[in-house]
Chain A
Amino acid sequence: MKKLLQILVIAGLAYGLFGCAAKKTMDATYESEHAIEAEIISVGNDGTKMIKSWGYAKTPELALIDAKRKAVKAAIFHGFAAGGGSAKVGPIVKDENAKTEHKAFFDEFFKDGGKYLQYVNSKNVGMPSGEDRLKMKKGYKVAASVSIEFDSLRKHLEEKGIARSLDAGF
């Protein structure tokens, strides 16, 4: 009986340990800022960028929302590589510490239904399908084609003192 108990405890511990590790790995993929996949698909109209961005979630609907959020995050913190006829676009916020310095602002900005939604418009008609909607082991990976109000977003962050404006100091 004592041995059985020992085995159960060890098994329980092992599950807890590896289970957590696996969850953390998934979180790193799903939540990490470095896992953002976004690219320019074409030159937008005045002040906008046309972006294709991927999101991950348990349902396609949530993955689509995640893709929109990640498109805005990419515009703010990462920028976009050249593509779709456009030159490279640098991140709006160039200070690497801004994310931690203004954590409260960004948490509020990117919360569910947050202000970030004002700066991103989906160009998808209905749910993405085909190669833009992939079923994965633990959910869905969905690509959204979005238009980002890049200039308005930049101005908003400049006004909040988070991004440095081009004429700062003059």
Chain B
Amino acid sequence: MKNIVLTISVLLLAVSMFAQPAKKPTIMVVPSDQYCISRDYKQEFNNQGETKVLPDYKKALQNDSDLRLVISKMSGIMADRGFPLKDLEQELKKLENERAQKDMTISSSTGMGLAESPIDALLRTAKADIIMDLSFEIKRRGPQQYITYILNGYDAYTSKNIASSSGAGEPSSAATPDVLLEEAVLAHMDEFNDRLMNHFKDMFEKGREVTIQVLVNDAAMDNLESEYTWKGKTGELSQLINAWFIMNTVEKRFSRATSTANLLIMDQVRMPMFTEDPWTGEKVGQDTQDFAYKLRDWLEDEIGLADPIKIAPKGLGEVWLIIGGK
């Protein structure tokens, strides 16, 4: 009898595991800042009074045939490995359409305008989990030409480098730049994908890494040092939030980077890859916002926090919970 129960349990577990695959990460190739700016594909962005020089991807894609060739080659290889790439050009168009709507949304908030750079906006709109940051250069040595090639994979959630491959190709006096570029892509993709596979393995074992910031608005009645009681124990709100992270992270993996009365930053938070949809009960892939909603619900329902809490995504891997921010 015991054996039957055990067998059924194992079968059910197996079915639940295989029936719901994890949310497949989306990947997008983006030319590096250095590549764009050094070729004058750049734009200026005013970030709260400070002028910043940023890459202009649209200009790069419209003017650089070498770049298009390399991206196209990479797209083919990645699609073959089960990861069709997000098209940067299409995402830029989508972003343009969204920009007007977003401006309206920000103006209706409580004045906590999010300083979101065009890159952050692009990442958020494209929702690419992994950015393949690419740069290359055709160099000459006497009559010969060769390619230097750098490919870095960044986790858009954490900005951490998760895979890379770089090097210089063999010089050739016969091959055209197109052939050399194609060769450079072929020469480096296997190494890059091997490292990417290690990253996926780590993600399945230890969860996806994100950052959650809890901020307190001036209008809020409480701050993070306000005392609350949960399960018969009284503690500061920041301590209780810490307890929530202990309960809800994979293997209790997270780090309290900053903790003051008005700001709590939890980084290197390993959130589970899956969650249960609160309405349907279906097991689905979890993103940072889903994870933050759970914390908000817990603060409102379990702790009884009176202040409203606003959830503000900043990029893909970071969410701000603003207490008193609605």
Contact = CB atoms under 8 A, between A and B. Distances in A.
Nearest to B80: A151
A89 B186 CA distance: 11
Interface in A132-167: 150-151, 164-167
B187 to A, nearest CB: 4
Interface in B153-188: 165-167, 169-170, 183, 186-188
Contact of A170 (B25, B80, B186): B25
Interface in B188-229: 188, 190-194, 196-197, 200, 204
B308 interface: no
Contact of A87 (B22, B23, B187, B200): B187
B244 interface: no
Interface in A70-89: 82, 84-89
Given A87-B165, A165-B81, A167-B81, A44 B21 contact: no
B202 to A, nearest CB: 12
B187 A86 contact: yes
Contacts of B166: 87
Given A42-B170, A84-B170, A88-B191, A166 B186 contact: no
A169 interface: yes
Q: Chain B contact residues (Cβ within 8 angstroms of A): what range?
A: 20 to 34
Contacts of A44: 186
A43 interface: yes
Contacts of B25: 170
Given A42-B170, A85-B169, A166 B187 contact: no
Given A167-B24, A169-B22, A85 B82 contact: no
Contacts of B23: 170
A46 B72 CA distance: 13
Contact of B190 (A89, A94, A168, A169): A89
3 cross-chain pairs, A with B, having the tightest CB-CB distances, nearest first? A167-B82, A85-B170, A90-B194
